[in-house]
Amino acid sequence: MTTNFQSSQKLFQKAIQLIPGGVNSPVRACKSVGMTPAFIHHADGCTLVDMDGNRYIDYVGSWGPMILGHRHPVVIEAITRVLERGTSFGAPTDLEIELAQLVVDAVPSIEMVRMVNSGTEATMSAIRLARGITGRDIIIKFDGCYHGHADALLVSAGSGIATLAISGSPGVPDVIAAQTLSLTYNDSQSFTQIMDRMGSQIAAVIVEPVAGNMGMVPATENFLKTLRTETSRHGSILIFDEVMTGFRVAYGGAQTLYNIMPDLTTLGKIIGGGLPVGAYGGSRDFMEHIAPQGPVYQAGTLSGNPLAMAAGIATLKQIHTPGFYESLDTASALLVDGLNTAIQEAGIPARANHVGSMAGLFFTDKIVRNFDDAKTADLKRFSNFYNGMLNRGIYIAPSQFEVLFISSAHSTSHIEETVHAAQAVFKGLRI
Ligand code: KE4
């Protein structure tokens, strides 16, 4: 049982004097679950330790990058080795070629790739490239999907926007927001109707192939096939935002699970192994539009940073080993089956699911297919679940509209301990 948060609370009081909301990313503030955040001292494997010495089994995994768990030896060794060469040169290195080659070999729709420093930069750049190639302005996204905080994409977004129950953001000019249509996820019919009406004006359609920012909501195969067919028909660019799903749900990303090839793919999280990396890639023909080869501008001081490249290379090499994803899937199924059994025993309206090592838990008895379904979840009950689990040493995302990540560091006993804690907490959530 977690005993005290005194050090974290003292630090939070200092942090809010200096940093907006005391955090450098809103969802970390734990506002939606009525908490102040635990300040983390260190991590190892699947365990986090906060500043008060409380230990947690970690299912946030830095919001996705830590598929190997924290401080995996091969990652630490790679960073340490490259550190001997320096930290940043602002010039090309062999390491960027090595990571680019790993990405090109892994992701079937990518022939060329540009490294950036975050998922936001990746999606923002992919949208600019799509607009540059097509000469069109309007883009389509889907309610509840989150693609980072670029102006064009903060419309009806998921993740922190959904968590804070805000529709978009002040500061995004109406003229910019007006260029973004946000439609219903998994609704092929409404998408087709819009494309029939204005497909020739659509620069790009961007989608999370397995949504992880409204909770975990997989796309139906029919929906993704419709996006592919309609964008091809109208000359629009299809972008799979695989910042979360890339190398997570499969080594080649969700596009290899569905066998549907987007025109552009955005990546992040796992390819940086815990250091800041994003990337966008696609066919040579498309990517050669990017400066300095082509006219579409995009740049970054720390893009391709040697330490981040080293962490990404080590991570991808380590996860591209026989049986890695199968064992992750087994562990994830053990967790989800355990949670669903505990839910049934407690008789509460909730449901867990997973795609590979991305798991979701909704406090609603509806089958969740889109953001409106997700919003039927009982947020108070989620908040009580969150607090109960944290007090039992289980660290999940402080939002109903996020997912749980399982790493190769989560052993069967960690999963069993998690299910045991959930059994106790679910019982306390009975109506
Ligand atoms: P970043 O700019 O945060 O690196 O990536 C933005 C992004 C883009 N696309 C997808 C599918 C994403 O999930 C994200 C970021 N994910 C959130 C968690 N749901 C990051 C956590 C946070 O905002 O602090």
Residue 165: per-residue pLDDT: 62
Tell me how far apart the alpha carbons of residues 129 and 323 are, in angstroms, rounded to a whole number: 37
- The radius of gyration computed from the CA coordinates of the chain, to the nearest angstrom, equals 21
Q: Which amino acid is at 42?
A: H
Close Cβ partners of 121 (under 8 Å, ≥ 6 residues apart): 148, 278, 300
Q: Which residues of the chain have pLDDT under 50?
A: none
Nearest Cα to 282, choosing from 294, 270, 300, 274? Answer: 294
Helix (H) or strand (E) holding 378: none
Helix, strand, or coil (residue 140)? strand
Residue 49: per-residue pLDDT: 98
Answer whether 121's CB lies under 8 Å from 300's CB: yes
- Residue 282 has which token pair? 């696609």
Nearest Cα to 248, choosing from 273, 225, 223? Answer: 273
* pTM score of the predicted model: 0.97
Residue 160: per-residue pLDDT: 77
Tell me how far apart the alpha carbons of residues 29 and 35 are, in angstroms, rounded to a whole number: 8
Structural domains of the chain, with CATH: 6-71+322-429 (3.90.1150.10), 73-319 (3.40.640.10)
**Residues classed as catalytic:** 146, 241, 269
Mutate to test the pocket of ligand 1, among 66, 118, 141, 213 (most ligand atoms within 8 A of CB): 213
Tell me how far apart the alpha carbons of residues 291 and 270 are, in angstroms, rounded to a whole number: 26
The phi and psi torsions of 261 (rounded to 5 degrees) equal: -100, 115
Tell me how far apart the alpha carbons of residues 134 and 142 are, in angstroms, rounded to a whole number: 21
Residue 65 Cβ contacting ligand 1 at under 6 Å: no
Dist. CA 286 → ligand 1 center (Å): 24
Residue 120 Cβ contacting ligand 1 at under 6 Å: yes
- Residue 120 has which token pair? 């936001």
- For the chain, first and last CA: distance in Å? 24
Dist. CA 62 → ligand 1 center (Å): 10
Nearest 10 degrees: Cα torsion 237, 243, 247, 251? 0
* Length of the chain measured in residues: 431
Instruction: Give the number of the atom of ligand 1 that is nearest the alpha carbon of residue 213.
Output: 19
Tell me how far apart the alpha carbons of residues 150 and 278 are, in angstroms, rounded to a whole number: 14
| Half-sphere exposure (Cβ direction) of 127: Cα atoms closer than 13 Å | 26
Residue 158: per-residue pLDDT: 77
Strands (E), 84-213: 112-116, 138-142, 180-183, 202-207, 210-211
Residue 169: per-residue pLDDT: 84
Report pLDDT digits (tens) over 192-215: 999 999 999 999 999 999 999 999
Residue 166: per-residue pLDDT: 61
Residue 141 Cβ contacting ligand 1 at under 6 Å: no
Report pLDDT digits (tens) over 309-331: 999 999 999 999 999 999 999 99
Tell me how far apart the alpha carbons of residues 330 and 87 are, in angstroms, rounded to a whole number: 38
Answer whether 258's CB lies under 8 Å from 265's CB: no
> DSSP code of 112?
E
Residue 61 Cβ contacting ligand 1 at under 6 Å: no
| Half-sphere exposure (Cβ direction) of 111: Cα atoms closer than 13 Å | 8
Close Cβ partners of 415 (under 8 Å, ≥ 6 residues apart): 331, 334, 335, 338, 406
Helix (H) or strand (E) holding 263: none
